[in-house]
Structure 1
Amino acid sequence: MDTADSRHQSGENLSFASSQPASVDQIPQNHLNESPYVLNNEALSLESSLTTGDLNSVKAQCEYSHKILQRHKILQRQLQEMKNAVELEMRKRESDRDGNVLRANITKLEQRLTALQRMTAQQTDRSLALKKEVGDNDAANKRANTDLTQKVEEIGREIAQIKEKQNELERKLESTSSSREQMAPENLSQMVDAFERQLGMYDVRIADMDQRFQVLETTSYSGVVIWKIRDFSRRKREAVSGRTLSLYSQPFYTSRYGYKMCARVYLNGDGMGKGTHMSLFFVVMKGEYDALLPWPFRQKVTLMLLDQGMDRRHLSDTFRPDPTSSSFKKPTSDMNIASGCPLFVAHNVIEGSSYVKEDTIFLRIHVDTSDLENF
C-alpha cells in the first residue's frame, strides 16, 4: 500500500503552472482531464486507509484531497479565463474583419466623393459657359433694342408725316366740298378717286411698316431662334393636303452685322421623310452685310424639337456645313437652297407626346458663333 508521503509526492508531480497560455492552441490537453483522475485515485486510497484503520494516513489523505480540490478550482478558473481569452480573440478577429469591411466602404465612399467632385466641376464649367453665352446674348439684345428704338422712332416720324398729309387731304376735301356744286361731277369723281388711291397707298405703307416693326421686335442677333408654331394640327392637315407644304421662320442673325438665316419646316415631311416624318431645314439668306463675312458659311448648326414636359427630352440633330454645297455659298438671291434633316423626327414620336401642348410646338435653331469676328 502507498504511503501518504509517496502519494503526496505523486500528487505534487501532477501540478502544473497557473500561468495563462498565450493562445488556445497552447493549452495542454491532458490538463483538462487531470483532476478527475487524481480525485478518483485519492478516493480509492482513502477507502483503503479507512479499512486498515490508519488514522494518520486518512488525515494526510484528506489534506491532500483538499489540495487537489483547490487545484481543481484553480484549473476551472484558468479554463474559464482561457475561454474568455478565446472569446476575446474571436471578437478581435471579427472586429478586424469589420474594420476591413469598413475600410473598404470608406474607400468606395471616397471614390464616389471623387466622382461627385468631378461632376460638380463639370457642372460648374457648364454653368460658367452658359453665363458667358447669356451675357453675350444680353449684349446683342441691348444693341438690337437700341436699333429697334431707332427704327420705332423713324416709323413714328413717318406715321406723323402720313397723318399730317392725311389731315391736309381732309382739309382740301373740305375746301372743295363748298364748291362741289360748282364743279362738274366728272372732276369731283376724279378727285375722290385720287384721294382714295393715295389713302390706299398710305394704308399699304402703314401695314408694311407695322410688319417690319413686328419683325424687328422678334429678331434675334445671337445666332439662336426659338420658333413657336401654333395651330399645329391644322397646319399639318394643310401640309398633308398639299395646300401649304412648308413654313418659314422669322429671320435671325449671328450678330447685328452677321449672317442672316431662317428655318424651314415640312410638317408632313419632304423627300425621304414625306408622309412619315417632320423635316426640318436650315436656310442661309441674303443679308445686308454679306460683303464683310467669310464664305462659304462654315458654322456648326443644331436643330432641336423642344420637349414641353417635365423630362425635357429634347430631340436634336447637329451638322457642320459642306463648304462645297451651294446651300452655303454667298447668296445671290433672297435665300439659298435649304439644307438639313428630311428624317428629323417621326410622326408617331410627336403625336400624343409632350412635344405638342395646346396644339403648339417649339423648334430651336442654334448656330455656333464662338469663332466669328464681331464687327
Structure 2
Amino acid sequence: MNEHLDSNSDEHLDKMYNTLTHHTNLLSTTRKQLEEQAEHLAQVDTKVNAMEKLYGSQLVWKIENYSEKLEEAKSGKKSTIYSPPFLTSRHGYKLALSACLYGDGKVRGKCLSIFVCICKGDFDALLDWPFRHKIKFTMIDQNPDESKRRNISHIVEPNICKENMSFLGRPKLERNSSFGAQKFVELELLPTRYYTKDNCLFIKVDVDSKHMILL
C-alpha cells in the first residue's frame, strides 16, 4: 500500500512539474511577445511622429544655437541656413525654407530674411503648375503668457508670369530659385520680446491649400 501511495505521489509531482514547466514556458513566450509588441509600437510611434512632421500642411522650423549661427552669418562663414524639406500635404509640393539670419543683400545687417524654394518631389507629375499658393511666414513670440505673444507674420503671394517660372515652375533640377521676404523681421526687434529664447527661435510657414490639388 505504501508503494502505491509513493507511486501516486511521484505521478502527482511529475504532473505538477510538467504543468509548472508548461506555464513557465507560456509566460516566457508571452513576455517575449509583449516585448516585441512594445518595440513595434515604439517604431510605429516614431514613424507617426516623423509623418506628422513631414506631411503637415505647415512647418514649424526650430533654429537652435541662434547666437552662434548669427555670428557665422555676420562673418560670412555661413550666411544662409536651410530647413528640412516638407510637403504641403501627403502627396503635395515639396518645399524647403532658407534663412539669412543677418539679412540678405541690401538689408544685410538690418533684417532677418526668410525664403522658400520648391524642390523636386515624387508627385510633381500629378500637381498643378506653376505653383500659385500663398505662403505665410510667422516669427513666433515665445512669451510664456500666450495672451501676450506678438507674432510677426508676412504673406507672400506668387506672381504668375513668365519671368518667375524659375521660382514657381515645376522643378527641372533638385530645387528652384528661392523667393520670400527679404525684410521679414528687423534685427533690432528680436531682443525686444521673446522671439529668441534659450538660444532658439521658431519660424512657422503656412501654405494656403484652398485651391490645391489634394490626392
After TM superposition, the score normalised by the length of structure 2 is 0.72
Higher RCO by CA contacts (8 Å cutoff, separation 6 or greater):
2
The Cα of 1:351 is off from its aligned counterpart by 2.1
Q: Quote the residue 1:102 is aligned against.
A: none
Structure 2 Cα separation of the partners of residues 245 and 300 of structure 1: 26
Deviations 1:151-203 (A, max 9, x none): 96xxxxxxxxxxxxxxxxxxxxxxxxxxxxxxxxxxxxxxxxxxxxxxxxxxx
> 1:296 — aligned with what?
130
- Which of 90, 93, 105 is matched with 1:271 structurally? 105
The CA distance in 2 between the partners of 1:337 and 1:369, in whole Å, is 22
TM-superposed deviation, 1:267: 0.2
Between structure 1 and structure 2, the one with the greater Rg is: 1
Residue equivalent to 1:21: none
Pair 1:268–1:367, CA change in 2 (3 A):
same
- Report the equivalent of 1:249: 83
What does the per-residue CA deviation read over 1:280-339, in whole Å, with 9 as the maximum and x for residues that have no partner? 011111101100001000011001100011311100001211122121111011111110
What is the CA-CA distance between 1:272 and the residue it aligns to?
Answer: 2.1
CA contact under 8 A between 1:219 and 1:250: conserved in structure 2?
A: no
Of Structure 1 and Structure 2, which has the larger fraction of its residues in strand?
Answer: 2
Q: 1:229 aligns with which of 63, 67, 75?
A: 63
The aligned amino acid for 1:261 is L
Question: Aligned ranges for residues 21-100 of structure 1 at < 5 Å?
Answer: none
- Give the corresponding residue for 1:286: 120
Tell me what 1:319 maps to. Answer: 156
Mapping of residues 331-342 of structure 1, within 5 Å: 331-342=171-182
Q: 1:253 is aligned with what amino acid? A: L
- In the other structure, the counterpart of 1:355 is 195
Cα offset, 1:217, TM superposition: 5.5
Where 1:321 maps in the other structure, the secondary structure is: coil
Aligned-partner Cα distance in 1 for 2:159–2:174: 20
Q: What is the CA distance between 1:276 and its match in structure 2? A: 1.1
> Which residue of 257, 261, 265 corresponds with 2:95?
261
Structure 1 gaps, min length 5: 1-147, 153-213
Contact 2:102–2:110 (8 Å) recurs in 1: yes
Q: Distance in 2 between matches of 1:237 and 1:314?
A: 24
Partner of 1:239: 73
Deviations 1:120-167 (A, max 9, x none): xxxxxxxxxxxxxxxxxxxxxxxxxxxx95x96xxxxxxxxxxxxxxx
Higher fraction of helix: 1
Q: What residue is the counterpart of 2:54 in the other structure? A: 220
Give the Cα separation in 2 of the matches to 1:222 and 1:371: 17
Give 2:208's aligned residue: 368
Shift in Å at residue 255 of structure 1? 1.2
C-alpha distance in 2 between matches for 1:222 and 1:260: 11
How many residue pairs are counted as aligned between the two chains?
A: 166
Give 1:352 shift. 4.3
**Which amino acid in structure 2 is aligned with residue 357 of structure 1?**
K
Distance 2:192 2:214 in 1: 43
Question: Which blocks of at least 5 consecutive residues in structure 2 are unaligned?
Answer: 1-42
TM-aligned CA deviation for residue 224 of structure 1? 0.2
| In structure 1, distance between residues paired with 2:57 and 2:206 | 6
Which whole-Å CA distance do the structure 2 matches of 1:352 and 1:374 have between them?
41
- Give the RMSD, CA atoms, in angstroms: 2.0
**Identity over aligned pairs, percent:** 33
| Conserved 8 A contact 2:99-2:115 | yes
The answer to whether the 8 Å contact 1:252/1:262 transfers is yes
Task: Give the Cα–Cα distance (whole angstroms) in 2 for the partners of residues 373 and 322 of structure 1.
Answer: 19
Alignment check: 8 A CA contact 1:254 1:367 kept: yes
